[in-house]
Amino acid sequence: MKVTALAGGIGGARFLRGVKAALPDADVTVIGNTGDDIILHRLNISPDLDTVMYTLGGGISAERGWGREDETFTVQSELAEYGVGPAWFGLGDRDLATHLVRTEMLAAGFPLSDVTAALCQRWQPGVRLIPMTDDRVETHVVIEDAEGRRAIHFQEWWLRLRAQVPALAIVSVGAAEAKPAPGVLDALAEADVVLLPPSNPVVSIGSILAVPGIRDAVRETKAPVVGVSPIIGGSPVRGMADACLMAIGVETSAGGVGAHYGARRLPDGSPGTGLLDGWLVDLVDADVTIPGVRVAAVPLLMTDLAATVEIVRAALELAGV
């Protein structure tokens, strides 16, 4: 079975661990978000790709959910001794090697998709991990504070400001000119099932869908498309998705996000404008209805691998595969 999933960082990666466990023989392709990529100290950093790679490859910090296990932060402390920041971005020593290899390969002319494949040679994540695009796309957030109205990098908003300053707009800079990375559209077209994990609907899944061609490919695939709600009972399972949803005028609820993704087909069988055939919500959100979308409710907290496997199985069942 061919499974294609869109994925952001921690939530997506944990869900994918469940996919691998539920379907050990499946051919899984992950289309990873690169909108939160950032260049710091001239290093090309791809946090979401790395989170997926480390999580599935056995290198992730179990406690933090991002970055490497047994990590140290010597380089970052030394940078601080030189007065060089930012302090709000956790730059681990082990992680830094990944950034150095990526940066060097990109500078040598390899596209990010090739670089990611090369890094995965080490990590053997057991999935094919493809960045959404080889072009540079950066999610910026428009804020307004004492310094006036301005756009800052998503990571600065997310990590430094903890998303506490309202986002007036969230913009995928470069997305309009970006092309899907090689393999992305085929993976969607040839899938037996397409999954939208409980990643951030705006800055993770939304960022991937902002690359021209990807949204259409999801809508046009012959495979069923099932999403898993990142919202349980009106709150994000983790992270600060509510601050992102507010910026795009979507209610922070399982029903709100489901409706935002929308139905591929209307109840009468005619084409809809959305993405979903199925929408998996938590038991507390069992009353959610989205016209044209099959909704099922199960416990959605990914408390451990077994619980995550159950969620994946419910999503596959909803997909009818």
Which chain residues interact with a second copy by CB under 8 A? Answer: 41-43, 72, 74-79, 81-84, 93-94, 96-98, 100-101, 103-104, 107, 119, 122
What minimum distance in Å lies between the beta carbon of 81 and a second copy? Answer: 6
Nearest to 183, CA basis, from 128, 136, 135:
128
Rank residues 125 and 230 by Cβ distance to a second copy and give the closer one: 125
The two three-digit tokens of residue 112, written as one number:
């990010």
Q: What are the strands, taking DSSP E only, across 43-165?
A: 43-45, 128-131, 138-145, 148-153
Phi, psi dihedral angles at 199 (to 5 degrees): -85, 170
Residue 93 CB, nearest distance to a second copy (Å)? 4
| Cα dihedral 90, 136, 56, 196 in deg (nearest 10) | 110
Closer residue to a second copy in complex, CB, 131/206: 131
Considering the complex, state which of residue 153 and residue 264 has its C-beta at the smaller distance from a second copy: 153
Q: Among residues 51 and 204, whose Cβ is nearest to a second copy? A: 51
Q: Do 264 and 275 contact (CB within 8 A), yes or no? A: yes
CB atoms within 10 A of CB 178: 22
User: Which residue number, 24 or 83, has a Cβ lying nearer to a second copy?
Assistant: 83
Residue 99 C-beta: closest distance to a second copy, Å: 10
Strands (DSSP E) contained in the chain are: 2-7, 27-32, 38-40, 43-45, 128-131, 138-145, 148-153, 169-173, 193-196, 225-228, 231-232, 235-236, 278-281, 294-297
Considering the complex, what minimum distance in angstroms separates the CB of residue 28 from a second copy? 23
Q: 267, 294 in Cβ contact below 8 A?
A: no
- Helix (H), strand (E), coil (C) string for 287-305: CCCECCEEEEECCCCCCCH
Instruction: Work out how close the CB of 79 gets to a second copy at its nearest, in angstroms, rounded to a whole number.
Output: 5
The least distance separating a second copy from the CB of residue 292, rounded to whole angstroms, comes to: 47
CB-nearer residue toward a second copy: 71 or 285: 71
